[in-house]
Amino acid sequence: MKLTVIGCSGSVPGPDSAASSYLVTADGFNLVLDLGSGALGSLQRHLAVPEIGAIGLSHLHPDHCMDLCGLYVAARYAPGSPIPRIPVFGPPGTSARMALAYDLPLDPGMEEELEFHAWQEEQLIGPFTIRTAPMVHPVPAYAIRVEYGDKSLVYTGDTGPNDALVELARGADVLLSEAALQDNDPHNPTDLHLTPSDAGEHAKRAGVKRLVITHVPPWYDRATQAEHARRTFSGPVEIATPHAVFDI
């Protein structure tokens, strides 16, 4: 299983990165986790739109889903269209939300190009077993565990600290964790995001093998956030950067 970082900028696109998007591949199947602002362009450096096997959305904030609008246009109008409908997994109501984002009638919305499914606790997507757990965020949000054979990747999406993330990540090979807040900032909002020390603490409690820090806003420094995660996690801590590849 291979993880390729498509976009890792937190909350907004940054000067060197699109917002959240990650490509997970195995057995020739391409699973895209999130498709945030600016990510569709970066994704096409790695594969063509018809090669997308499925998309999983952690939640419906624009920095995690808004390039689904561009995907809809490509699937509908690009040469070679129509292409087979691309499965999209996300929170309940994803189809209606994306139709509104593009000012489409709710029926059919984007349903002729994209095949929408609500997350279940467990589902099979291509060669992957996918498990999800609700997270702590102002909108319905999910952490996503991707399993292929005996390998596992857990992506936090956006979340505040919570025990469900620890349980979902238990024993994972890689925890791809957001770290959007700074440590020891008295102005940090509650139940919104993780600090680097939070990310490290969750990784430690879950017993994961590697921690990859992501979703750092462009106004903070990725290397500093990763260094602070090492305060609470003694295992390998790596930094998500655009187009970085991690073998799992």
* Per-residue pLDDT at 132: 98
CA neighbor of 26 nearest in space, from 4, 7, 45, 42: 4
pLDDT at 222 over 90: yes
Q: Please indicate whether residue 116 or residue 81 has the higher confidence score (pLDDT).
A: 116
> Is residue 231 within a helix (H) or strand (E), and if so which, with residue range?
none
Reported as a single tens digit per residue, the pLDDT across 57-82 is: 999 999 999 999 999 999 999 998 88
Q: Average pLDDT for residues 202-206, to the nearest whole number?
A: 99
Reported as a single tens digit per residue, the pLDDT across 143-158 is: 999 999 999 999 999 9
Alpha helix (H) ranges present in 130-173? 163-168
Contact of 144 with 121, CB cutoff 8 Å = no
Can you tell me the distance from the alpha carbon of 76 to that of 72, in angstroms, rounded to the nearest whole number? Answer: 6
Q: Which two tokens stand for residue 160?
A: 């505040």
pLDDT at 178 over 90: yes
Kindly report the pTM of this predicted structure. 0.98
Side chain identity at 73, as an amino acid letter?
V
pLDDT at 84 over 90: yes
Q: Which two tokens stand for residue 230?
A: 């090492």
β-bridge pairing 128-134 and 122-125: antiparallel
Reported as a single tens digit per residue, the pLDDT across 36-60 is: 999 999 999 999 999 999 999 999 9
